[in-house]
């Protein structure tokens, strides 16, 4: 049986933690409060959504207007419980898409955000849609590395494992 520190015990008892994996780290004090299998490889969809949003916020303003485009083709035939059914040709502000992404974990919002961010960066003008999406994931990994999340590697900006082949 694992022995918990006083801080860990207080957190577990207070919050009734039932997660399979959890790390609570204070970046100010550089103090690890709790670590439950934090080094085990897993697919944290919530972290993927947050980093998608944080990377996009580095490059775009909340009132920017995004055009939903062909990036949605990737999701066309996929049955996705997190899909918000955004339609090609619709215009959304970045703020609206961001809310949709964060509140519903909407995969189509994630694709629209990622693609519109990449479309706004001139250094990627000559890349195909799929390559732009891959480059967005590279930006996510760079962001994680800058935060010292050494064991965090993103393969795509939303967690749909069956799409790994499509984005290569």
* Tens of pLDDT, residues 138-164: 999 999 888 877 778 887 644 444 344
Half-sphere exposure at residue 93, Cβ-oriented, CA atoms within 13 angstroms? 7
Strand 65-67 and strand 91-93: the pairing is antiparallel
Residue 155 contacts residue 137 (beta carbons within 8 Å): yes
Higher pLDDT, 164 or 113: 113
Is the C-alpha dihedral spanning 128, 133, 139, 142 positive or negative? negative
Q: How far apart are the first and last CA of the chain?
A: 43
Share of the chain above pLDDT 70, in %: 73
Written as six digits, the tokens of 162 are 């069956």
pTM tops 0.75: no
What digits encode the pLDDT tens for the residues 19-53?
A: 777 777 777 777 777 777 877 777 667 888 889 99
Residue 143 contacts residue 29 (beta carbons within 8 Å): no
Supply the DSSP string of 37-92, one letter for each residue.
STTS----HHHHHHHHHHHHHHH--TT-EEE--GGGGGGTT---TT-----TT-EE
Higher pLDDT, 152 or 2: 152
Higher pLDDT, 129 or 155: 129
Written as six digits, the tokens of 5 are 């520190």
Half-sphere exposure at residue 157, Cβ-oriented, CA atoms within 13 angstroms? 36
Residue 136 contacts residue 55 (beta carbons within 8 Å): yes
């Amino acid at each position: 049986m694992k022995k918990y520190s006083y801080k860990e015990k207080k957190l577990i008892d207070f919050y009734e933690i039932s997660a399979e994996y959890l790390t609570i780290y204070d970046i100010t004090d550089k103090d690890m409060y709790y670590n439950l299998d934090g080094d085990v490889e897993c697919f944290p969809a919530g972290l993927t959504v947050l980093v998608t949003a944080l990377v996009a916020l580095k490059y775009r303003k909340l009132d920017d207007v995004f055009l939903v485009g062909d990036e949605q083709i990737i999701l066309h035939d996929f049955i996705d419980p997190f899909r918000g059914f955004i339609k090609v040709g619709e215009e959304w502000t970045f703020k609206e898409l961001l809310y949709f992404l964060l509140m519903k974990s909407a995969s189509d919002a994630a694709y629209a955000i990622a693609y519109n961010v990449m479309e706004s960066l001139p250094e990627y003008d000559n890349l195909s849609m799929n390559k732009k999406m891959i480059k967005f994931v590279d930006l996510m990994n760079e962001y994680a590395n800058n935060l010292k999340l050494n064991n965090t590697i993103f393969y795509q900006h939303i967690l749909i494992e069956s799409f790994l082949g499509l984005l290569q």
